[in-house]
Amino acid sequence: MTNTHTLNKTAKQKKLIIKSIMWAIMSLFAVLQFFPLIWVTNFSLTKDSDVFTSGILKVPDPPEWQNYSLAWVNGNILKYTINSMFVVGTTILIVAVLSLILGYAFTRMKWKFANAWLTFILIGMMIPIHTTLLPNFLIFRQFNILDTPLALIIPYVAFSMPLGVFIMTGFMRSIPRELEEAAVMDGCGVMRIIFQIILPITKSAMVTIIVMTFINNWNEFIMGATFLSSVMWKTLPFAVYEFSSQYVSRYSVQFAVMVLSALPSLIVYICLNEQIAKGVTFGAVKG
């Protein structure tokens, strides 16, 4: 009796220690992850010279809110944000629809070379962006779409789709076929099965795809700089680049631009963070 009691006690203590270590490690990671964001936000509200103070952070006294108004007005933030939203929004829509349809085709339909095609699409994940810049530039020029949003949407979709298909196929494999069989018995067509039966079940995978596509493309600059030339369609990352060269000596205003341009991604992540975690654990990893 006493022995069992002691054993239980030791086991409990062990559990507690492991839990504490886990908490310590997780907290450390959280701090490390969050620190740059906190730092940038902190110094976007201070005076320029405060960046060089010896302390890690500094209480803004008083907060320099005019840094934000200057960043908003002179940084073209609104125009570039609208452009980014259009380009990334369209990309997300196309990637989401294609991933769903392709995911279904690869996991549920039997057709020749299905696996080979799936591998072919997934290989896309291994292609570095830089190697595609020149060929894409030449092709886009041929099709007369340089300096238009299509010049960004097409490569963004191409680079985001492999990951989308990867997540979706993994997720769909875990959905029992009986559901669709029942739907077919009731006279459901393929499109209806995909959009009415499969889509609601794959919600968390879909959210993961949407968020991944958003985060990967929201800050993209290399393709933007290569394929766009006029101000008309420039996206948000341009604001940071252009602003930092214009306000080289105004660190705090630069930080304000960075905070403003990071805000949309942050909001998306905070709103959907539970779905993202679900999608990744249920879909990609399990699949």
Partner 1 sequence: MKMKKLLAALLTGIMAVSLVACGNPNPASAGEDKSTETTKETEAAKTPEKSEAVTLKFFSNVPDRTAGLGLLEETNLNSFKEANPDVNFETEFLQDEPYKMKIQTYMQSKNMPDMWMQWGHPAALMPVVQGGFAAELNPDDYKDYGFVPGALEAFTIDGKLYGLPKNADFWVLYYNEKILNDNGIAVPKTTDDLIAAAKILNAKGIQAVSLTGKDRWPTAITLENLILRKTADPKAFNDAIKTGTTSSNEDFLAGVNEFIRLVDNNVFQPSYLSDDYGTAKNLFIQGQAAMYVMGSWEMGMGSDETIPEEVRKNIRATKFPTVNGFPGTADDLVMWYGGGYAVSADSPNKEAAIKAVSHMLDPDIYAKNSWQKQIAIPPMKYDKYLTGNENNLQKDITEIISSAKSTTGATFIDMLTASFKDASEGLTLEMSGKMVSPEEYLSQLDALVKEANAE
Cα separation, 210 vs 97, whole angstroms: 10
Whose Cβ is closer to partner 1: residue 25's or residue 97's?
97
62: helix, coil or strand? coil
Stretch that binds partner 1, among 30-38, 85-93, 169-177, 211-219 (CB under 8 A): 85-93
Least Å from the CB of residue 223 to partner 1: 11
How many binding residues for partner 1 (CB under 8 A)?
Answer: 44
Cα separation, 61 vs 45, whole angstroms: 9
Out of 81, 90, 132, 275, name the contact with partner 1 by CB under 8 A.
90
Whose Cβ is closer to partner 1: residue 7's or residue 231's?
231
Cα separation, 147 vs 82, whole angstroms: 16
CB-CB contact of 250 with 243 (8 Å): no
Tokens for 67?
């840094």
Stretch that binds partner 1, among 23-31, 144-152, 168-176, 258-266 (CB under 8 A): 144-152
Whose Cβ is closer to partner 1: residue 26's or residue 97's?
97
Q: In terms of residues, how long is the chain? A: 287
Question: How many Cα atoms within 13 Å fall on the side-chain side of residue 205?
Answer: 31
Told to check if 271 binds partner 1 by CB under 8 A, we report no
Q: List residues near partner 1 by CB under 8 A.
A: 48-49, 51-52, 86, 90, 93-94, 97, 133-134, 137-138, 141, 144-150, 153, 189, 191-192, 195-196, 221-222, 225-226, 229-230, 232, 241-242, 244-251
